[in-house]
Structures are given as structure tokens and as C-alpha cells.
Amino acid sequence: MPASVTLTNLGKSFGTTAALTDVTAAIGAGQITGLVGPDGAGKTTLLRLIAGLLTPDKGTLEVLGHAATDRDAVRGDIGYMPQRFGLYEDLTVQENLNLQADLHDLDEAARSERFATLLQFTGLAPFSRRLAGQLSGGMKQKLGLACALLPRPKLLLLDEPSAGVDPASRRELWRIVRTMAGTGVAIVWSTAYLDEAERCDSFLLLDGGRLLASGSPSDFTRRLEGRTFLIDLPERQRHRVQREAAALPSIADATIQGRSLRLVLKEGSALPDLSELVGARALPRPTRPRFEDAFVSLLLADRPPVSAPGIQATSAPSADGIAIEARDLTRDFGKFRAVDKVSFTVRPGEIFGLLGPNGAGKSTTFRMLCGLLAPSAGSAHVAGVDLGRARATARERIGYMSQKFSLYGNLSVRDNLDFFSGVYGLAGRRRSSRIAWTIESFDLGSVADLEAGTLPLGFKQRLALGCALLHEPQVLFLDEPTSGVDPLMRREFWSRIGGLADGGVTVLVTSHFMEEAEYCDRLGIVYAGRMIASGSPDAMKQRFVTAALPEPTLEDAFVGLIREHDAERQGAAAA
């Protein structure tokens, strides 16, 4: 396969921070190359270098047979779709396409032919008169893709096209891009979702600006062949079992996957006897290694293994056996009903996940439950308190951590802790002992006097969680806590959350991220403002087991549930 892009010892710095260091790789024509890595790994920088929007500091870059210095020759052959698709939200779908065609000087004949193909191809034909701003996230991405494909590029650069898109639309995007690759276009698809790497023909794995691995995903995971197992978990203390298994010398990685424990053995180690941990009846079953397993074992080679001590929760769970109860929660924004009669309950010590695509109403539900938004109808009880009656009392019992790690960046770690303990009304000895506890349990002693904004992502995440736990809440709300962080950090984070749950703290998580959902005890799938299904991740997957698909993923289950729901609604409408 001829290389469309060749990178040799490529480096790029912004000020004193190196965004990319010494990257050497080739990107083939007719292939989908996955540019994989956590947030801040250098994916966007690399794409912008290839697109000619940045110039490299070091090394050479050859794109479609031309050197980086000679970009005008190839500009028309590169399609680039930035993360925030360059759409004009106040123009219609058709007007956006027209504009792109004008910008590329397409003549009438080429225009009408390509519009027809692309609209049909992306399934946007029925929506050509709709304003781009009123499309769903998935349709916006498809329109962005159509705009990038309009000039018939030979190289297509896609910057996180699937971020925040629901799984069904994500599959559509993959189908479109796969077809394009079939016509000989070289495609670079950047993503923070590790499961997507497995769908690519080849991948470049970036971490901290360095190329950690590259090649074909199957070769990458094959190294772990025979070293990955699933084993059933006991009903209770699942997180403790997971922590203890992870600490065993022969185990490289142990994660909770539904009701099972996923184990990755260290190279050359034999499977240890786990009967003490999981009981004698549970037998390990071999399973197919995933991209994430390979990534984690590679990261563990550089970094010391994660030591995330379990956190002893000190708050007493509420007596009535219900920590969170939503009853017919409804919220209208003008004429639009964002959430429609959502009901569910969460028991103390349970980790409950609200899962759904962006715009489905999960964030609105979440915000109503933590008191940031008043419901239009229905009621919410959290930690034994009716949010409609005593919101302030409820707030003393809940902790909240947002996706953006809402910290005061120019204050030191200690100042942040001082402030949050103060607004939670802690004082005197309790205040100082809670702050000391947080610094110790979250291993923040070495950075206590540094400004929070300058800390690496992992420290920020720990500090944000620490701040949310200062007042020993009974219920913890997490808003997409680990999207885009690297898998080791995600493990460390969830191991702490698991410890909290074992100690009786109830956790409500919202996410559109399947990997995060696997950590939950139970899930509620929110779609089009309704909760269309709830249950354990395993039970959801179980429903979609077929002969062709013996081990369905959570995403398979999700797509299946949404399809069933749509079919039901159509059936109801027809009747």
C-alpha cells in the first residue's frame, strides 16, 4: 500500500510544552488509520500539522508526495474535519453544502451530482432544508463529513468525529468512512475511545506527545493472547475483590466488567489461585484481548502500577434503603420536553449510571437530581430529603464532581480545600482533620502548595474528587468523570469510587461513554427524554446474545435497545 503521509522524527512545541516529540510513522492510502490517545496526547496537533495548519519545529512531513513546504500543491486534496465541525449553524444543510462548494470552486454539473450522492450517502437528504444548528449531534457530524468529502479529497483528516455521538450514529459514521476508504482515500480518524482503535486498519497510539505503538490493532492485541480471562464476581464487596486481585504479583490489570472480573496476566505468569477472593465455584474463562488491555500493559511498563487505596466512607447510609428516588421527573424548556416522566430508584452503596447520547435528556435529569435545576413536574428525593422542599439540606448530603473538574486554577491545592470545606460549613477540628484526610488519601501532599491550574490532569481529577468528598456526602454525583483520560487514570479513579460504594456511598454517574458505563452496578438508558431501559450492564448485554454475537458489548446492547424503542414508537404511531 503506498503511503499517503510520511512523518519522520516530527516534533512540535508550544512555548515550553512539547506537544509532539519524535513521531515517525506512515499513513497508507485506502486505509483507516486510527489516531488513538487520551486528551492532551497530541492528536489534534498531529492532524493540524498534516493539514498544513501548523508547521513542524523538527523533522519532516510529506503529504501526498509533496514536502511540508510545498502545501499549495496538495491543499485541494486534503479534507479536514475539525473537532467542532466548521458548520454554520444558522444556514441550512443545503446552504452549508453550497458554501463549501463555492469555496472549492465547484461547477454546476459537479455540484448537483456530488450533492445528490453525499446527501443520499449520509442519509441527510430528507433534512436538506433544516438549519444545521437544529440537527442532532450525530447528524451534525455527518454533515461535517459531507462538507469535508465534497472536494473529493485523497486524504481525509477527522478530529474525534465520534465524540459525544450516540452509538447508532457512530456506527453510521463508520459505515460512511469505511466506504470512502474502499475508494482509495487515506483516512485518519482520531479518537479517545479505545474500542474504536480495533475497527481501524492500523493505528498510531499517542501518549504525552510520543508515539507509543503503531501497526495493525490485531497484531497489537495478539501479544496478549492467552493472558486475558473473565471470572465471575461474588455479589458483595466486588470492588474490594477487584482491588485485591489487581494487587496480586502475577496480575497486570484487573477491572470490573459487569458481574465479572477481567484479568490480564503479566507476561510469563500463570493464572493465580483466586478461590479465596471469588469463591471456589467461580472458574476463569479465557476471553479475547482488547485494545485497552494491550494499551494498559504497555503503559504499566513505563509507569509504576496504580496504588489506589480504598477510601473508607464515614457517612451513614440512609435508613429507608433508598438513596435516590426520581418519580415522574419531567422538565420542559419552552415547548420542548427535555425529560419526560423519568422514574427510578438507587439503593445506598450502589453505582448507578445514566447513559445516553448528548441531548437525550440525561444531563437534564442529572441536574434536576443534584438540585441545579427545578423539575417542571414530578419529584426527586436524594439522601432522604425532598429536593423540592429542602434543597439546601439535601446539598449538605451530596457531593458533585463535574467533567471540567471545577477547581479554582489560580489558587493552591490547599486554598481550594480550605475554600470548599468552608462553604460546606466545616470548621475547627473537623475542618482540619478532613483536609488532612483528603491530602493523605488522595496523595496530594507533594503538590499542596502548587496552583491547581498547573497540575497534571490526574492530580486535578483527584483534587476535584477530594473537594467533593470533604463533607462526607452520602450521595456522590459524577458528570462524565473519566471521559478522555488515559486508562490507568480511569482505573485509579474507579477503584476509589468502588471503595466509596463498598463503604455505603451512593454514586450517580452520567456518561455517553461505554467504557465508563461498565463500572456501574446498574444503568438507566436515557433516550429522547425517556428512560427506555434499566438494569445491570450484564442483563442488558444478555438480551442481545445471538449465535452470531455470543459476547455482545454494551454498545451492541445500547444500539439494540434504541432500535427496539424506535420500532415500538413507530408501531404505536402506525396503530
Stretch that binds another protein, among 46-54, 64-72, 133-141, 364-372 (CB under 8 A): 364-372
> Do residues 474 and 318 touch, judged by C-beta distance below 8 A?
yes
Q: Which three cell numbers stand for residue 269?
A: 505468569
563 contacts another protein (rule: CB under 8 A): no
Using rule CB under 8 A, residue 459 touches another protein: no
Binding of residue 420 to another protein (CB under 8 A): yes
Select from 25-33, 123-131, 222-230, 391-399 the region that touches another protein (CB under 8 A).
Answer: 391-399
Mark the segment that binds another protein (CB under 8 A) among 90-98, 108-116, 235-243, 370-378: 370-378
Provide the minimum distance between the beta carbon of 475 and another protein in the complex, in angstroms, as a whole number. Answer: 11
DSSP 323-355: SEEEEEEEEEETTEEEEEEEEEEE-TT-EEEEE
3-state secondary structure 352-368: EEEECCCCCCHHHHHHH
Smallest distance from the beta carbon of 419 to another protein, in angstroms?
4
Provide the residue type at 33 as one letter: T
- Other C-beta atoms closer than 10 Å to the C-beta of 515 total 19
Q: For residues 126 and 134, what is the distance between their CA atoms, to the nearest angstrom?
A: 14
| Residue from the set 371, 466, 484, 560 that interacts with another protein by CB under 8 A | 371
Q: In what order do the strands lie in the sheet with 385-386?
A: 336-346, 324-333, 377-382, 385-386
Query: For the CA atoms of 91, 94, 97, 102, what is the dihedral angle to 10 degrees?
Result: -90
451 is a site residue for another protein (CB under 8 A): yes
Residue 149 exposed, middle or buried by CB count within 10 Å (0-12, 13-18, 19+):
buried
DSSP result, 239-256: HHHHHHHHHSTTEEEEEE
> From residue 18, how far is each of 2, 40, 43 by CA, in Å?
30, 11, 13
Cα 369 to its chain centre, rounded Å, is 22
Q: Give the integer Cα–Cα distance in Å for 526 and 368.
A: 14
DSSP lists the bridge partners of residue 345 as 325
Q: What is the DSSP string of 402-445?
A: -TT----TTSBHHHHHHHHHHHTT--HHHHHHHHHHHHHHTT-G
423 touching another protein, by CB under 8 A: yes
Which listed range, 52-60, 103-111, 120-128, 407-415, lies at the site for another protein (CB under 8 A)? 407-415
DSSP state of 451: B
Q: Does 193 bind another protein (CB under 8 A)?
A: no
By CB under 8 A, name the one of 392, 548, 572, 574 that touches another protein: 392
- Smallest separation, CB 436 to another protein (Å): 18
x-or-dash pattern for another protein, window 469-508, by CB under 8 A? --------x-------------------------------
When asked if residue 396 is in the footprint of another protein (CB under 8 A), the reply is: yes
What is the closest distance, in whole angstroms, from the C-beta atom of residue 141 to another protein in the complex? 24
Q: Which of 402, 458, 504, 539 binds another protein (CB under 8 A)?
A: 402
Check: CB of residue 77 under 8 Å from CB of residue 153: yes
Q: Does 377 bind another protein (CB under 8 A)?
A: no
- Out of 346, 407, 508, 532, which residue is the one contacting another protein (CB under 8 A)? 407
Site membership for another protein, residue 373 (CB under 8 A): yes
- What's the rounded Cα separation, in Å, for the pair 143 and 132? 8
Radius of gyration of the chain (CA): 25
Nearest residue (CB) to another protein, 203 versus 405: 405
- Asked if 124 touches another protein (CB under 8 A), the answer is no
Query: Is residue 372 a contact residue for another protein (CB under 8 A)?
Result: yes
Q: Does 374 bind another protein (CB under 8 A)?
A: yes
Q: How far is the CB of 158 from another protein (least distance, A)?
A: 28
For another protein, give the closer residue by CB, 308 or 475: 475
Query: Does 390 sit near another protein (CB under 8 A)?
Result: no
- In terms of CB distance, is 200 or 383 closer to another protein? 383
Binder among 419, 522, 535, 539 for another protein (CB under 8 A): 419
Binds another protein (CB under 8 A): choice among 406, 432, 446, 542: 406
Read off the C-alpha cell for 528. Answer: 429522547
Please tell me whether residue 318 binds another protein under the rule CB under 8 A: no
Residue of 76, 133, 286, 425 that binds another protein (CB under 8 A): 425
Cβ proximity to another protein: between 251 and 368 the closer is 368
**Residues in touch with another protein (CB under 8 A):** 370-374, 392, 395-396, 398, 400, 402-411, 415, 418-425, 427, 451, 467, 477
